[in-house]
Amino acid sequence: MRLVKLIANLGYGSRKEIQQAIRHGWVTDREGNALKADAKTAHEDILFDDEPLDPAIGMVLLLNKPLGYTCSIKDQGKLVYDLLPDRYRVRKPVLSTIGRLDKETSGALLFTDDGALLHRVISPKAEVPKIYEAELDRPLNGSEAAVFASGELMLENEHKPLKPAELDVIDDTHVRLTLHEGRYHQVRRMFAAIGNHVNTLQRTQIGKLDLTGVAEGEWKMLSESDVAKVFG
């Protein structure tokens, strides 16, 4: 891929803007030598304004999503993309969330531009476990764990029961719930189905990947070993 197209696809600017950056000598190799538009330099050795280029296709990010942000670029108000560098919003291929968290749910949210990886994570066959911590409106009655683990719980307006889920009790109104599928507003609807209400909800873990070292509103680029944790 030509240098201009490569850098433009990473979101650093239009092709015209990248051509101008090359003419001004802002695109260099690691030794500081200005690169021409037809340079054959390896991706990892190219600098833009003295900084290494973002990764090519296959980039994976983990965001610790705060409350009040939505995942769809079609929504109004604050978007999760507002927490990332502006150029990430215009990368080609597009940088997409792997699944979603609603506006009132915080915690672990993955992004990638690798379509195969995205579908691998969200595939029902993968059954990637996702762990949530919830604060409930009313104390537990003691039957919830058995109901959720039964594989027989049916949500309103659905015709297929939920897969078994594991409930760990933190205290009377705080729980940790592990899901192996991802239906619309699933945690909230599960508790509604048994007569309770979720006041606060955070996703703390995807597979074995947790939020260690990632403060609320912050994000990090994942390594191959990090991504492997998603699958166990």
**Collapsed DSSP state (helix, strand, coil) of residue 197:** coil
Give the pLDDT band of residue 76 (cuts 50, 70, 90): confident
pLDDT in tens, 178-215: 999 999 999 999 999 999 999 999 999 999 999 999 99
Residues counted in the chain: 232
Q: In the chain, what percentage of residues exceed pLDDT 90? A: 93
Averaged pLDDT for residues 3-25: 96
**48 and 100 co-located in one domain:** no
**139 and 96 co-located in one domain:** no
Please give the angle made by the CA atoms of 117, 153 and 191, to the nearest 5 degrees.
85
Averaged pLDDT for residues 45-49: 96
Burial class (CB in 10 A: 0-12, 13-18, 19+), 42: exposed
**136 and 198 co-located in one domain:** yes
Mean pLDDT score across all residues of the chain: 95
Which residue(s) pair with 229 in the sheet?
none
CATH number at residue 90: 3.30.70.580
Q: Where are the alpha helices (DSSP H) in 24-183?
A: 115-122, 144-149
- The predicted pLDDT at position 184 comes to 93
- For residues 74 and 203, give the distance between their C-alpha atoms in angstroms, rounded to a whole number: 23
Helix (H), strand (E) at residue 192 = helix 186-193
pLDDT in tens, 85-108: 999 999 999 999 999 999 999 999
**193 and 226 co-located in one domain:** no
Domains contained in the chain, number: 3
pLDDT in tens, 144-188: 999 999 999 999 999 999 999 999 999 999 999 999 999 999 999
Whole-prediction pTM value?
Answer: 0.93
**80 and 45 co-located in one domain:** no
Domain that holds residue 45: 3-52
**150 and 199 co-located in one domain:** yes
**66 and 35 co-located in one domain:** no
Question: Does the structure show a pLDDT above 90 at 74?
Answer: no
Query: Do residues 97 and 109 make contact, with C-beta atoms less than 8 angstroms apart?
Result: yes
- For residues 188 and 166, give the distance between their C-alpha atoms in angstroms, rounded to a whole number: 15
226: annotated active-site residue: no
CATH number at residue 136: 3.30.70.1560
**150 and 45 co-located in one domain:** no
How far is CA 116 from its chain centroid? 15
- From the list 102, 137, 171, 172, the catalytic residue is 102
Question: Does the structure show a pLDDT above 80 at 119?
Answer: yes
Q: In the chain, what percentage of residues exceed pLDDT 70? A: 100
pLDDT in tens, 124-134: 899 999 999 99
**143 and 161 co-located in one domain:** yes
**7 and 113 co-located in one domain:** no
The closest of 16, 222, 4 to 109, measured between CA atoms, is 222
